[in-house]
Structure 1
């Protein structure tokens, strides 16, 4: 059963939801169900979702490996000694050593966030490798 609408387009009704669809439609745009059999003159649509592209993974690994090398090399032992000086009153020197000037000033003015920040930084420094990048 086909009808005409205002722009002279032929339409039909979906046999599942009853909404108006184009007369040559195979799938209803409202309910998504198939309303007609696929005719032989229509091209077959093949969906292949396999990704065999390995260059994306290689490029990502290369970028990630270079990110760590972009910073300045710092010595773990020096940073720990400067952080320990913060525990006895000279807070913030390890932040200045790492090049974090604003954090160094904040640590200096607040005595290392009242020693809590200095203790947390000391624990973090203990877990870093001997030469680390900032």
Structure 2
């Protein structure tokens, strides 16, 4: 009976063992061509990038654009000069129809003030207080 079991049992041949190396971080055996340790997950060797050709990057920076602001009237880029007292009087007497906004050149806000009676009076009050604390002349 013993002879039958031995004859029936296949003999296991040892597979040729792959070349192994030791991880320098955990000391475990890993395959020789491994870049990352299969046990601890840390990088064991530098990734060989000699096979991959580096792309040639060419940068042509021929920007000759000179940025000049042509919107400002006065030198220094401050905008249009407005008199504080004129704007304050316009806000006081014509604020509900947007007179001070039209004076400042803010046509859209002037039309909004015109149709909403100066943002229902709240906008005129806020603008009046704001204009009081502006320097003379101020720039829009």
Unaligned runs of 5+ in 1: 26-67
Moved over 6 A (4+): none
Residues 58-92 of structure 1 deviation map (CA, whole Å, 9 limit, x = unaligned): xxxxxxxxxx83311111001001000135xx520
| TM-score, normalised relative to structure 2 | 0.52
CA offsets, 1:76-123, max 9 Å, x none? 001001000135xx5200000001001001101111011110010000
Q: 1:123 aligns with which of 113, 117, 129?
A: 129
**Which structure features the higher share of helix residues?**
1
1:22 maps to what in 2? 43
For the Cα contact (< 8 Å) 1:91–1:118, is it kept in 2? Answer: no
With structure 1 as the length reference, what TM-score do the two structures score?
0.54
Query: In 2, Cα distance between the equivalents of 1:108 and 1:84?
Result: 14
Structure with the greater alpha carbon radius of gyration: 2
Instruction: Report whether the alignment pairs 1:114 with 2:120.
Output: yes
Structure 2 spans left out of the alignment, 5+ residues: 1-26, 47-75
